[in-house]
């Protein structure tokens, strides 16, 4: 019964995908130069 591994795999994949998307969005926003446009966004 590999219950821990079965649950760990999708969670790790989801976390990895989330981190990758987050970094990509941050890089895209930084290159776009929209931080001057929305300075109070976040």
pLDDT (tens digit per residue) in 3-38 = 666 778 889 999 999 999 999 999 988 887 665 666
Annotated domain spans of the chain:
1-32
Distances (CA, A) of 12 to 17, 19, 33: 9, 11, 32
Give the separation between CA 14 and CA 8, rounded to whole angstroms.
10
User: In terms of C-beta distances under 8 Å and separation of at least 24 residues, what long-range contacts does 33-37 make, across chains too?
Assistant: none
pTM value surpassing 0.75:
no
pLDDT at site 8: 80
Give the separation between CA 12 and CA 8, rounded to whole angstroms.
6
């Amino acid at each position: 019964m590999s219950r821990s591994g079965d649950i760990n795999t999708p969670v790790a994949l989801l976390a990895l995908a989330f981190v990758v998307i987050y970094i990509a969005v941050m890089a895209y926003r930084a290159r776009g130069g929209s931080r001057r446009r929305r300075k109070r966004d976040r």
